[in-house]
Amino acid sequence: METVSLTHSLVYFGLLICAFLLGGPQPITFILGLAHGLIWIGMSLTSILAVHYRIINLRLAVAIVLLGCVAPFFGSAEFIRQNRARSAR
């Protein structure tokens, strides 16, 4: 899930660049927007199941599901934060 989250952040960053800095060239902007939406839906469904089976905690799931539609960077940052906290222990 962490790899998909980081990939999602890269796709979203590309979408922001295309939409705002490059003037929204088509079909690239459409493809990146569609990819962002589909990845977010997939990550959301996976997160719900992962919380149910106690694979990830609720804080991470909230970062992915609720904040991921607006900016997937929150989910990626939370994955990195939790990995560092786990490594510190």
Q: Fill in the amino acid letter for 78.
A: E
d(CA 26, CA 45) in angstroms, rounded, equals 29
pLDDT for the residue numbered 36: 94
Query: Which of the two residues, 69 and 51, has the higher pLDDT score?
Result: 51
d(CA 64, CA 86) in angstroms, rounded, equals 19
Residue range 39-57, pLDDT digits in tens: 999 999 999 999 999 999 9
DSSP letter for each residue of the chain: -HHHHHHHHHHHHHHHIIIIIS---TTHHHHHHHHHHHHHHHHHHHHHHHHHTTSS-HHHHHHHHTSTTT-THHHHHHHHHHHHHHHH-
Asked if residue 88 has pLDDT above 90, the reply is: no
Mean pLDDT, rounded, for 82-88 = 89
Mean pLDDT, rounded, for 54-76 = 88
pLDDT for the residue numbered 70: 82
